[in-house]
Amino acid sequence: MGLTIREIRDNCVRARHLMQRARQQHFAVGAFNIDNQETLIAVCRAAQAKNAPVLVEVSDGEVKALGLDNVRDLVDNYRAEYGVEMYINLDHSPTVEDAKRAIDAGYEFIHIDVSQANHDASDVEIVKQTREVVEYAKFTGALVESEPHYFGGSSNVHTENIDYDEIKKTFSKPEGAVDFIHATGIDTFAAAIGNLHGKYPVPKELDLELLQRLRDAIECNISLHGGSGTPLHYFEEAARIGVSKININSDMRYVFRKTLEQVLADNPDEYAVVKLMPTVYGAVQKVVEEKIDAFGSAGKAIK
């Protein structure tokens, strides 16, 4: 069942209030990707156990697998069942049209990522398309997130080490962030400070001094993508500095798969898969709870 325009707008107002609380109280909200219903259950149970607000997010591949409107219905149903504060983020939307469809479906958070879809997109193209989404989102009040350029990695488990000499070339610059925000009118700036998508064999290192300079330079919210594989103390400090949203994906996928492999090996004669899944989403729930604690968002939910 679709939401009414009034319901969508009310949800977006609450989402904006959440970001304001995060800034004022120095906590970050976890944005957790879901591949399936089991992962959503894990996020809901973690949010309930920790009394924490959460974002559930889906990227283009996940939207294609689950369905844009189906995700909206699932989140609404589980939010009511578990009594949690939960919103949806469209993560790395590759096109303006995809972003608009999510806005129409009532998603409260929209990440338009022109440079991810087209690494060769010009600055003019990125600004123009981002601005178009910002203008369209005003109808519902959805919060729009973006960045002025592509930064690396992929949401997978990598075997190579991190080449920080290359990664540093894509770091955000405070003056560039100011110009981009003014040109687009976005609500949230996706910062690049050493965070990158995916899980690597070495821990990630975040440039917290750069993050502080970004926070001092810009007025809007700051998000961190590629949170998986990051030592937790970086999250604690990032939230203190003023990051409002942190994305987690690969850490959850890794635990999901490894636990599922073990459960299948331990139960070779069980073909009712539904009976095997509680152990799996229990393991994912632990990962989500760990992140919530590091983000400082435990106890911050308002239903």
Residue pair 125/91 in contact by the 8 Å Cβ criterion? no
CA distances, 163 to each of 6, 78, 168, 190, 202 (Å): 48, 40, 9, 20, 11
- Give backbone dihedrals phi and psi of 258, rounded to 5 degrees, phi first: -60, -40
Residue pair 172/207 in contact by the 8 Å Cβ criterion? no
Residue 261, token pair as written in the block: 């492999």
Whole-number Å distance between alpha carbons of 287 and 96 = 33
Task: Transcribe 201-256 into DSSP letters.
Answer: SS-----HHHHHHHHHH--SEEEE---TT--HHHHHHHHHHT--EEEE-HHHHHHH
- Which residues are catalytic, by number? 91
Which residues are CB-contacts of 70 (< 8 A; sequence separation ≥ 6)? none
Residue pair 211/241 in contact by the 8 Å Cβ criterion? yes
Residue pair 55/18 in contact by the 8 Å Cβ criterion? no
Closest to 197 in 3D by CA, of 248, 253, 154: 154
